[in-house]
A and B are shown apart, each in its own frame.
Chain A
Amino acid sequence: MKFGVVVFPGSNCDADVIHVCKEVMQCETRVLWHKDTHLQDLTTEDCIMIPGGFSYGDYLRCGAIARFSPIMEKVIEHANKGGYVFGICNGFQVLCESHLLPGALLANNHQRFICQNQYLLPQTNNTALTQQLDLTTPLNIPIAHGEGRYFADADTLKMLKQNDQILFKYCDASGNITEAANPNGSIENIAGICNVNRNVFGMMPHPERCAESVLGNADGKKLFESLLNLVYG
């Protein structure tokens, strides 16, 4: 699997994602500029990463303007053909605005930007991204956002559950999914989801920020390993 990392004006986690894909996971990695109208040599076997940041200054709504950039037309095509797309933080917002993922990310319920380590409990093994994760052990992955309150209406939420589309929920260190462990007011503590076809993933926490033991935390690497179907001990 190769990676393609989309860079918008205002992306600020692109270099971290490129580093993890290329140096940590040792995968061929292409950088895709927002004005590009092609995905270079990437195919549906490959994964397009939409990194975090503040694409287009978060103007209008987070991710709303990025959705109509030339590269996103190609990313949407790639997703519709079954190719992998993985959006982190602002990337998750972009994927929701692009209708590749249902729901939306609203301003945190306490109106503050939060930047902290956060425990998450994987909810399903039925996606490439989560196939190797232990559903009983919380992962510690940093969050950093002002608009991370996941919201979906009752019907959408029902569909997400029926189709097993909820990937991660915010929890405490022991894995309890409680209101106290919910950092931003997300509905049912949802931190990450996938689409019905299970090839598009979005999450607010930043696995690329904790994917090397030298950083003191390599929990995020487990997601990349899972995606690449590597065995980890």
Chain B
Amino acid sequence: MPLKELLDPQGKAVEHSLHNLGFQATNVRIGKHITLKIEATSQEEATQKVEEACKKLLHNPVMEYYEFTVSA
């Protein structure tokens, strides 16, 4: 998700559109949803691998924050 302190123009445009439809939503923010499959022998190993992928490529700390869930 875009960092909370950053302007999210896309979210803002969608918020305006929602208002036009009569939905009084505020704070509309748009991020990305990524799903992926990995091989791991434990929940911990899977978590570690995803964390590494986030740090190396999937996430840019200058502009975004992330959270993830691991399920077998």
Contact A64 B57 (CB under 8 A): yes
B6's contact among A96, A106, A110, A111, by CB below 8 Å, is which? Answer: A106
A183 on the interface (CB 8 Å rule)? no
B62 to chain A, nearest CB (A): 4
Of the four ranges (under 10, 10 to 19, 20 to 34, 35 or more), the interface on chain B belongs to 10 to 19
Contact B62 A151 (CB under 8 A): yes
B13 on the interface (CB 8 Å rule)? yes
Residue of B nearest to A185 (CB): B7
Residues of chain B in range 1-21 having any CB-CB distance to chain A below 8 Å = 2, 6-7, 9-10, 12-13
A109's contact among B9, B58, B62, B63, by CB below 8 Å, is which? Answer: B9
Of A106, A108, A109, A153, most B-chain CB atoms within 10 Å: A106
**How many of A's residues come within 8 Å of B, CB to CB?**
19
Residues of chain B within 8 A (CB-CB) of A185 are 7
A168 to chain B, nearest CB (A): 20
- Ordered nearest first, which 8 A-B pairs have the shortest CB separation? A111-B9, A104-B62, A104-B63, A107-B9, A111-B13, A109-B9, A61-B60, A109-B7
Besides the known contacts A60-B32, A60-B58, A152-B62, 5 further A-B residue pairs in the complex with CB atoms under 8 A apart:
A68-B57, A97-B60, A107-B10, A111-B10, A153-B62
